[in-house]
Structure 1
């Protein structure tokens, strides 16, 4: 696992809707003017990064796997998730369906080099968050804005620096498939548009501050499958691909990219993905047996 020297103390706070991004010497924190309703982090890291490995994992109502779990269910879920994390070291982890900051801090406590950098504050208790062993230079969350439709939740964001190059990591949990496809498809598509727009703005702002190369990773539970007939009328992945983002599962068989294993009521599905731009893919795979600790498998993306 990559270990980097800490050059600047990382501030990570759980904050309310009136907090804003704090700025540092490099003005990196000023890349966005929006108000930030959750955890913020900033730092300065010029150490050499020779590639990054990212895990994305929907943890299914963590902790407990149910909206109102028993204490026994919580304990079992926590133990199972910690086992998966400890046995599959990566540099950055993007979590979905995690209840709050305390749950996330406890979970990554099994990884001594990790810190929680961002945790969302969306309505309800299905949050997204980013933790890593690498110090980001910026991190915050943002809710999706109402457009022609009103997509739920939003994204967690962290930026990592290597010399004058930056890697922008987004963690998302797009609209579920509960309800009607005709209503769900447009909400996920609107989320995709906003992700592209935000990444373009941040890239432009970083370049104005001297960045040479911008790498972008969208990760998470997209609740759609670019190659499934069921979602053939959905344009979420098409929006990303038209913006020059590549799909991490391209070339994989369906069996090699099943991330949601059938519970008997619904068939196997591939809902968890990485979309990337400006990087070279090494590989992408799911973590075997991680479905024992969630209804979703953890997935790992290696790139350089």
Structure 2
């Protein structure tokens, strides 16, 4: 669906994207994560042809974007919907007219427009708002209008550029659930650009971490978490100050009772005392995953490590 090889983008002497390699499959939700200025939005704009790239290859559905002429780019963008952090609305137009706008530009007839707008309004949960003006809507409702408009041309790909950053946590969760439902229902490939790891945890199957224009980490979201990646922890600001004395172990807690009982079993069955230094649980696409860092004396470390290995528990020394 989207294939990126050795992609580079320069603004004058400034390297914004450096040797980016990425492959996104049909129908998946993929996360591009990074801090502000990492190059995420620039990469997104290269995908839909709003930005040119300096070197490398970027193919969408097998077509090299840089080789497209003006009409080819127009056809490419017809197949790519886009939603943004801010939800630009035509305030003098109704919700119906805002959703219908792309179809009117492409000269769809009134019957097709009416049918499609009503269908999308039902999907995104604003069927009762079609006659209202955007100024009467909440932030979450405006984003639902923006999503419906992005879907109006039956795109194969949906690009989400920080689409939940301006929303409160409850509304963010509702919008992410909506995007996940759209992906499952319509089979649309979704590329999510965000600096919010909770967005990736909730809906993305795979992700890449961008730092200073470079892709430093890629893989399945839950496996990257379970790998104990220090890069990911540093990005999340989750590096716990580990005690200098003794041995520090980070024990991964999976979505099962077996791993979650491990801390109590270490104390009970091995009769080992330890200190809990930090940890927590998070929701990863419906699975509860977490970790706990413990500090124990060196004399007990080998026994505890052997016990964890025997019980097939994932752990990392830190």
Normalised TM-score (structure 2): 0.29
Normalised TM-score (structure 1): 0.30
From the CA coordinates, give the structure whose radius of gyration is larger: 2
Bigger share in helix: 2
